[in-house]
Structure 1
Amino acid sequence: MSKTFGATSTTDEVLDGVDLSGRRVLVTGVSAGLGVETARALAAHGAQVVGAARDLDKAQAATAEVRTQAKNGGSLELVQLDLASLASVRACADRLNADGRPFDVVICNAGVMATPKGTTADGFETQFGTNHLGHFVLVNRIAGLIKDGGRLVNLSSAGHRFSDVDLDDPNFEHTEYTPFGAYGRSKTANVLFAVEFDRRHKARGVRATAVHPGGIMTELGRHMTDEMREAMLAQVNAANAAAGAPAFSWKTIPQGAATSCWAGFVGAADAVGGHYCEDCHVAKPEPRQEIRDGVKPYALDPDRAKALWAKSEAMVGETF
């Protein structure tokens, strides 16, 4: 009988009894928060983790506990990756391809949230460019390294419910910019990317999924003022109350990273593939705006996923 996990499950609970010895995993964003905890949990269960980070000195200090807790052949090595620069993304992919060692799972954990309006090194809106396009190029360039039967896990968010992608104006050149509207677009893109990647690679057993980790106090929220955070919580709790749902509660970092571990190593491949997961289970479509759980149907739309893929290729000047 399989174990049942939920919102309060932790990484170690999800991976209890799971031997990851000999498994190799790429995790982006290992300089803080969920990325560090994901790497720690995987290495503690025997995985060889490759952690990608923009600031390697910061990542080296942040991941000391990962090395301390590594067991049964578990390990951590670091690679430099700035998702806001396609030159850095391509250089990282080139290094990984030159190394040639395959991955069992790739976890696209890194991201930014609710940033002021700005652009990446390549002129893309900051959140769409970093959260989606950077990972889009990285993953597609190293897709050949993902073993048959492997998995891709994209970290999305319930924030995808804020907005669908805008394929006509992805850089807010004609649309009024709002920090959470842009965040919502990027998180919807993370789901749609998983949907199309899954379609393209499932014939060889590679499955892709997107996950919502839950609300966690990490560096991801560094651009949010106290006023922004309070207003968001008030809005969420009002919606929860109207829907008869319990008030919002923060997750711990081990609880937040649990769904990534579950989707990558515990959930059935055919169950998670092409879907969106939350609280260590596959989420159901939920079109109602007032409900915070579930996935908006537009984020799983296969035609929308194909259109985003084509638009992303055009934007980065590369065909996959």
Structure 2
Amino acid sequence: MAEPMTAAAFHAALRAEGVTVVEVGDWKAHNRNHKGAWGPVHGVMVHHTVTSGTARTVAICRDGYASLPGPLCHGVIAKDGRVHLVGYGRVNHAGLGDGDVLQAVIAERALPVDDEADTDGNRYFYGFECENLGDGHDPWPAAQLDAIERAAAAICRHHGWGAESVIRHLDWQPGKIDPKGIDWTAMRKRIAKRLGTAPPMSTPAPKTPEVSLAKLRTAARTDPPKAGTPMSYKGVATVETALVDEGLLARSYSDGHWGTKTTPAYAAWQRRCGYSGQDADGIPGRGSLTRLGLKRGFKVVD
């Protein structure tokens, strides 16, 4: 647990790490603090912008959009390696993410799979947006990768964190892919080397998909589709795919929300399992979900 640096200390830490800093307007006072607390801080999050052109990218990250007001990060890391400071305090960069991931960052251990959006990341993370189209083809110049390494290390050095405290947006919020195209294992090793610490542990991908009964039931009871919101639980998509394979659902919506068509489809699966009445209400139970998992290749956990 750490209190955020002052803006002056943040600026000084970046410069001390060899970062070329560009101050943009009133960045020290430009924030979203009126929307909620910033801090305690626990880590650094890296994103890509899906934009091209440094001037345009910086302007967007400073001002935001009508639907997502700026600032959208603390610093914009341009392709030439310069870091443009656009805001300081609470900023709109992380959004809702997985609380289990936050606990892993705090403990500096291997990250679990991010499968729900239940925790306000804007409060807990420093955020850097990197100028890149995010299509897997737009290159990441050496100067930009060096700046990511240095900027992340600067914050970690100040707070006494290791490279395990530096994560991607895709590690945090289900459905995100950024920053696409960076060898993240190599980047975290670079950060660790700069800090003089041991390389962080990699996060193994689960061999068999896991579905939490408790999280799935919560989604089924309280989570109608919400356009434009992050998925609440990845396991919903796993179950929907299984229902499609069983011929009970036309398609998997894959947005992590338990929709109105998923409930009757699951109720049909419950009836196929021999349940009736309230036991076939479309809300998953352990017996029916376990049978579906055994048939369709996922594991049911608490």
Question: Given the two structures, how large is their TM-score scaled by the length of structure 2?
Answer: 0.28
Compare the two structures and name the one with the higher helix fraction. Answer: 1
> Which structure has the higher relative contact order (CA within 8 Å, separation 6+)?
1
Rg (Cα) greater in structure: 2
